[in-house]
Amino acid sequence: MSAVGRAALEGAGGRSYGAPPRREAGVRRQRCQGPRERRLRRSGARRGRRAVAARVLWTSGELAVTLGLVALLFVVHELWLTNRQARQGAAREVAALEREWRTRGPGDRTAPEADPRDASPAGGGPERDRAATARTGPGTSGGSAPRRDQSYAVLRIPRIGLTVPVAEGVSRSAVLNKGYVGHYPGTAQPGRAGNVALAGHRNTHGEPFRRLDEVRPGDTLRIDTADARYTYVADRTLPRTSPSDGTVIAKVPYSSARPRQRYTEPGYYLTLTTCTPEFTSRYRLVVWGRLTSAVPRTADAGGQGAGG
The string of pLDDT tens digits covering residues 203-216 is: 999 999 999 999 99
**Rounded Cα–Cα distance for residues 151 and 96 (Å):** 10
Cβ(284)–Cβ(240) below 8 Å: yes
Dump pLDDT digits (tens) for 189-246: 999 999 999 999 999 999 999 999 999 999 999 999 999 999 999 999 999 999 999 9
What pLDDT, on the 0 to 100 scale, is given for residue 66? 76
Q: Which position among 205, 210, 222, 275 bears the catalytic label?
A: 275
Domains and CATH numbers, the chain: 80-306 (2.40.260.10)
Nearest CA to 248 out of 284, 200, 201 is that of: 284
**Rounded Cα–Cα distance for residues 12 and 5 (Å):** 11
52 or 244, greater pLDDT: 244
How high does pLDDT run on average in the chain?
A: 79
pLDDT of residue 118 exceeding 50:
no
pLDDT of residue 302 exceeding 60:
no
H/E segment holding residue 306: none
Nearest CA to 272 out of 153, 132, 155, 152 is that of: 155
**Rounded Cα–Cα distance for residues 139 and 160 (Å):** 24
Predicted confidence band of residue 63 (pLDDT cuts 50, 70, 90): confident
Distance of CA 54 to the CA centre of its chain: 41
pLDDT of residue 305 exceeding 60:
no
What pLDDT, on the 0 to 100 scale, is given for residue 230? 98
**Rounded Cα–Cα distance for residues 162 and 155 (Å):** 8
Count the helix, strand and coil residues of the chain and give each as a percent rounded to the nearest 5. 35, 20, 40
Does the annotation count 49 as an active-site position? no
pLDDT of residue 264 exceeding 70:
yes
SS3 category, 12? helix
H/E segment holding residue 65: helix 35-76
Report the b/e string of 189-223 with b at 16+ CB within 10 A. Answer: bbbbbbbbbbbbbbbbbbbbbbebbebeeebebbb
Does the annotation count 201 as an active-site position? yes
What pLDDT, on the 0 to 100 scale, is given for residue 138? 40
Find the radius of gyration of the CA atoms of the chain: 40
What pLDDT, on the 0 to 100 scale, is given for residue 58? 77
H/E segment holding residue 7: helix 3-13
Cβ(274)–Cβ(199) below 8 Å: yes
Q: Which position among 201, 205, 210, 229 bears the catalytic label?
A: 201
What pLDDT, on the 0 to 100 scale, is given for residue 136? 41
Of 133-137, 184-188, 230-234, 265-269, which gets the smallest average pLDDT? 133-137
What pLDDT, on the 0 to 100 scale, is given for residue 4? 53
**Is the CA virtual torsion 182, 260, 221, 139 positive or negative?**
positive
**Is the CA virtual torsion 81, 83, 84, 88 positive or negative?**
positive
Amino acid identity of 233?
A: V
pLDDT of residue 74 exceeding 80:
no
What pLDDT, on the 0 to 100 scale, is given for residue 50? 74
**Is the CA virtual torsion 234, 238, 241, 244 positive or negative?**
negative
Q: Which residues contact 140 (CB under 8 A, 6 or more apart)?
A: 146, 152, 225, 226, 227
Predicted confidence band of residue 59 (pLDDT cuts 50, 70, 90): confident
Q: What are phi and psi of 213, to 5 degrees?
A: -70, -10
pLDDT of residue 306 exceeding 80:
no
Nearest CA to 169 out of 192, 185, 145, 188 is that of: 185
